[in-house]
Amino acid sequence: MPFDEIKAADLEPTAAFAERMDSIDTLSSFRDAFNLPVDRNGRPVAYFVGNSLGLQPKAARGIVEEVMDDWARLAVDGHFDADRPWYPYHEQVRDELATVVGAKPVEVVAMNTLTVNLHLLLMSFHRPEGIRRRILMEDGAFPSDTYAVCSHVAARGGDPESDVVRIAPRKGEDLLRTEDIVAEIHRLGDSLSTVMLGGVNFRTGQLLDIPAITSAGHQVGATVGFDLAHAAGNIPLRLHDHDVDYAAWCSYKYLNAGPGAVAGAFIHERHASDLDLPRFAGWWGNDPSTRFRMHLEDTFIPVPSAEAWQLSNPPILSMAPLVASLDRFVEAGMDRLRAKSRVLTGYLHACLHEFLPDDATIVTPANAEERGCQLTVRLEGDARRRFEGLAEHGVIADFRPPDLVRLAPVPLYSTFEDCFRAASTLRDA
């Protein structure tokens, strides 16, 4: 039975069910494409922190070594003569990146790191003018996003106290309601410059309604962007079709491109082709045909694509693993990954529900359409101690004090057995 025919009611919280699902999983061979750490007994760990740092694709080492070899063998000629030439290196991941986030190739670029990209994008999409000067973000956002937005507003002459508006869940609730976000956008109306929200919340795992929020923002004349750190490689995105203005994400979480990997940015075609948009410029954003003419060119001619936002020549060594990682996504296909992910996370949900009826609450939405792979569990009692029990048994999860445990079964390399192991270990801890 294909995964997309399995309904929530079919999920049985048993080891036998896990075994059956693992045996029919057509993506199971992808697990072998990654290096999995082992626990102290030499057994592969159950790895649930791909939302923090994805596993290493085995192919990454060869591609990094290829760059080292080309550098040794060719030195400066590696820019054009390397097997994967460095001059257009970022172009080699463009189509794959576009596929993963549902964009056109002209709308994406691999560059910098996430927080840097947020600043570069805000430079173009937050355009305070008259009363239109507010940015809407979520309360309790990932700290880097809050620092970026507030410092950006201050550096541009605004007042973060009044210009940054933070939306929070209702009292006593953990999740944001789409209706509340839309109502807040309408309330801010003409004073709203841009909306910048996490597509999937890092803490709760909630997937926001990207099309509804984008459309509401556009109705009041604001631009709408998303931080997709927890969405890219986790859920199929349709950034172009949903008319999102801009987005940024990192590549070391679900995209498995390694610590400090080169991040990504999306700029909708209608903006990417607008050469007059204000932006910070550097030589790598210039038309590649004249980029190397150096002193002969002192007028910046932006590439009519997202690549115009690039400043510097890219860090080839840290971009190399992204090549290896994106290949796995293209081979597996985002839709197949999502079909497995729904069942895998649904199964973990069912096991947690069955094994921990009284002492754990699942914070993440129960509806699979409103989440990616991550489940966030609030534990009663000594939450930290119970979390430590997981690690002692080779289940690698993540603890957000005081009482939240995050578990992200990743469809590229996690198994149903891993999920059973996590839930039963948590019960016994």
User: Which residues of the shown chain bind ligand PLP in the complex (CB under 6 A)?
Assistant: 113-115, 142, 144-145, 198, 202, 227, 229-230, 250
Structure tokens at 298: 């002192």
Nearer to ligand PLP, 106 or 118 (CB): 118
Distance of CA 149 to the CA centre of its chain: 18
Amino acid sitting at position 219: Q
Nearer to ligand PLP, 229 or 412 (CB): 229
Nearer to ligand PLP, 321 or 394 (CB): 321
Nearer to ligand PLP, 124 or 251 (CB): 251
Minimum distance between the CB of residue 191 and ligand PLP, rounded to whole angstroms?
25
Residue that has been written with the tokens 């009041």 in this structure: 220
- A 10 A CB-CB count for 391 gives 15
Minimum distance between the CB of residue 360 and ligand PLP, rounded to whole angstroms?
24
Residue 428: which region, alpha, beta or left (left: phi > 0; alpha: psi -120 to 50)?
A: alpha
Minimum distance between the CB of residue 250 and ligand PLP, rounded to whole angstroms?
4
Query: For residue 101, which phi and psi values (nearest 5 degrees)?
Result: -105, 5
Nearer to ligand PLP, 339 or 405 (CB): 405
Structure tokens at 248: 């940024």
Would the CA dihedral through 152, 155, 159, 160 be positive or negative? positive
Minimum distance between the CB of residue 139 and ligand PLP, rounded to whole angstroms?
13
Would the CA dihedral through 189, 195, 201, 206 be positive or negative? positive
| 398-400 and 360-362 strand pairing | unpaired
Minimum distance between the CB of residue 117 and ligand PLP, rounded to whole angstroms?
8
Nearer to ligand PLP, 202 or 416 (CB): 202
Minimum distance between the CB of residue 115 and ligand PLP, rounded to whole angstroms?
3
Q: In 287-357, which residue ranges form alpha helices assigned H by DSSP?
A: 316-332, 334-355
Minimum distance between the CB of residue 209 and ligand PLP, rounded to whole angstroms?
18
Nearer to ligand PLP, 146 or 178 (CB): 146
Is the distance from CB of 341 to CB of 368 less than 8 angstroms?
A: no
For residues 4 and 338, give the distance between their C-alpha atoms in angstroms, rounded to a whole number: 9
